[in-house]
Amino acid sequence: MPNLRAGLEDDLEEDFQAALEGIEVDTILASAAPAKAAATLEPGARVTGTVVSVGPDTAFIDLGGRRQGALKLIGLEGNPEIGQTLDLSVGTFNEEDGLYDVGPANRAIAVEDWSQLEAGMIVAAKITAANKGGVECDVAGLRGFMPASLVSNWRIENLEEMVGQTVEALVTEIVPAARRLVLSRRAVLERQAADARTKMLETLEIGDLLDGIVRSVRDFGAFVDIGNGVDGLVHVSQMSWDRVKTPTEVLEVGQKVRVAVKNVDRQTGKIGLSIRDTVESPWKNAAEKYHIGAAVRGIVSRIAQFGAFVKLEPGVEGLVHVSELAHRHVHSVSSVVREGEAVECKVITCDPEEQRISLSIKALATPPAPPAGKAGPAAEPEEPEVEEAPLPPVKKSNTPLKGGLGRQSDGAKFGLKW
């Protein structure tokens, strides 16, 4: 055994110095010092932890900074694996075993009495009664109240339908002395929607088909819930291939619809949806059905100053320009056709890509007969001649006119001949 008081032998001293080469002693001492405990976690805080061990009913999680948590396995879909990373919500801190009670992110944490409740925690609340102001809840035998505005993201007309349901709610206010416990289910839904939106924005692709529920209808469109509280906007122009004047003609709140993802803005989180893109475009075969020269029948859907729009089928309209309404000159479109009137037209041009069809009514109409004594193509009726009013008489002047040929030029005075 080497003597600790004596120096090392030459060969050992060389090995020792070689091992310490490039390493400072202060660095070794700093790394050997015990790490300081991290700050205390607040109830309701969101953390990320790593599974270190899994027992029959509890999984132990490393929360970082010498902090550990206990996760109850009851109610979970499958047990976590050692080394797996989880998103968790923090509950209370158990001083006896030095563990935090944790649960899946935005999920309820079990409590047994008032001492375990703190503002910011998510708990399981069973709705026991309803009134005009909100609903009464039972949280592990403790009585709580949830205002109507905090029951859901959307307005619930009949709160009685919620009675008997167990929901996850956030503790917003707690006063044990007054036995006051105020809960919010809306806060949990908003958190879950934010998480779901983040994940969905990462995976959504343009053209994806989804099932949704109409949550609200506005003048400019409708908001559709496509799952987990994530909603997108269906603009009024994307509701149908046919022209839609107001969204209420097509959709109503609570209606189930099939939508296609139109666009996704991953920075703002806005999602554009389309209902009409879930069905085949009527313009797909328009070139064959409405070829140039074809005679078609439609209904006048709109009248404009420059012409009339004729609806040939749902989603397909053609324009009859004012110059193609009649053989005569047309001052007003409404003097020839009216909205809702059925008309026969001839196809002049058809462009399915631009979704434009030009039609003509006069091309199928019989031209008027030419006036008597005139041959050739019919001419437009001539306007009646208007006699011009006679000009007023010019008064004669008795004074001699200045200038003219009879006037002597001033140049003669100087010997000039003009």
β-sheet bridge partners, residue 180: 175
CATH topology of domain 122-189: OB fold (Dihydrolipoamide Acetyltransferase, E2P) (2.40.50)
Domain with CATH 2.40.50.140 in the chain: 46-104, 122-189, 204-278, 286-360
Q: What is the pLDDT of residue 35?
A: 45
CA angle centred on 84, ends 49 and 125, rounded to 5°: 60
Q: What is the pLDDT of residue 1?
A: 53
Q: What is the pLDDT of residue 32?
A: 46
- Helix/strand/coil (H, E, C) string of 290-345? CCCCCEEEEEEEEEECCEEEEEEECCEEEEEEHHHCCCCCCCCHHHCCCCCCEEEE
Query: What is the CATH number assigned to the segment(s) 286-360?
Result: 2.40.50.140
* DSSP secondary structure letters along 158-191: -GGGGTT-EEEEEEEEEEGGGTEEEEEHHHHHHH
Give the architecture (CATH level 2) of 204-278.
Beta Barrel (2.40)
- Give CA torsion, residues 10, 14, 19, 21, to 10 deg: 130
Q: What is the pLDDT of residue 319?
A: 93
CA–CA distance from 41 to each of 68, 92, 107, 261 (Å)? 11, 9, 17, 40
Which one is the CATH code of 46-104: 2.40.50.140, 2.120.10.30, 3.20.20.140, 3.30.1390.20?
Answer: 2.40.50.140
Could you report the average pLDDT of every consecutive run of 10 residues in the chain (418 residues)? 57 60 57 55 80 84 85 76 85 78 70 72 88 87 88 84 89 81 89 80 88 91 84 90 87 91 86 90 86 90 91 90 89 89 91 90 82 55 50 64 56 56
